[in-house]
Amino acid sequence: MGFAGNKAEVNLPTHKRARLQKVHVIACGAIAREVLAISRINGLDHIDLHCLPAIYHSYPQKIAPALEQAIAEARANGFEKIFIGYADCGTGGDIDKICEREGIERLSGPHCYSFFAGNEEFAARADQDFTAFFLTDFLARQFEAFVIQPLGLDRHPELKEMYFGNYKKLIYLSQEEDETLQKKAKEAADYLGLEYEYRFTSYGDLATELLAI
């Protein structure tokens, strides 16, 4: 009788059994490199990563509809365990509504700067970093494509003052200690006319939460 109770699972096609054992992580493409690195370093072979376009980082209104579609597709493909690799990320609580409705979890915190720094640490520094503009490794690499071009600064550099006039410093939250990226981040700070500050965070709460799932 006990064996018969497991019969349905035993007869599942191999690819469907594999999906039942996996955690399907639907993440922002801007953190794909970090998720893969954490998985590789820690042997997290059970994580199945699917990334939405990184450019949604600049257009948060597109995130929730894309997540709903990605979740539906994952369910249709047999994934039972799903985890959302986004914080709130400027969606005004829309991701939380999806998570509550679907019974799934997301990364803690308001955005990637917070979970890379560590959500508690980021919150503790909120007052002193109130006038800071943040970069991660991804944004240091893609500063032109994800900051300059979306804001139109390549066409209208005079807009820099309008967008960044109230900022005092640029803080580079670094996941990997890379001198080339540090140079790029410093150049970004100079371009925006901001003081430069470097903080090595490694993967912060992203690593903690991926390990927990």
**Whole-number pLDDT of residue 174:** 98
At 50, give phi and psi (nearest 5°).
Answer: -130, 125
**Whole-number pLDDT of residue 3:** 29
- CB burial of 157-189 (b: ≥16 within 10 Å; e: otherwise) equals eeeeeeebeebebbbbbbbeeeeebbebbeebb
Give the number of other Cβ atoms within 10 Å of residue 116's Cβ. 28
pLDDT band at 1 (very low <50, low <70, confident <90, very high): very low
Does the pLDDT at position 13 exceed 90?
Answer: no
Q: Which helix (H) or strand (E) holds 82?
A: strand 81-85
Which amino acid does the sequence have at 201? T
Instruction: Assign 3-class secondary structure to 84-99.
Output: EECCCCCCCCHHHHHH
The residues near 212 (Cβ < 8 Å, ≥ 6 apart) are: none
- Could you tell me the end-to-end alpha-carbon distance of the chain, in angstroms, rounded to an integer? 32
Instruction: Report the chain's mean pLDDT, rounded to a whole number.
Output: 92
pLDDT band at 5 (very low <50, low <70, confident <90, very high): very low
> Does residue 36 sit in helix, strand or coil?
helix
**Whole-number pLDDT of residue 19:** 56
**Whole-number pLDDT of residue 21:** 80
pLDDT band at 139 (very low <50, low <70, confident <90, very high): very high
Q: Can you say whether the dihedral through the CA atoms of 71, 72, 76, 77 is positive or negative?
A: negative
- In this prediction, residues 107-135 reach a mean pLDDT of 98
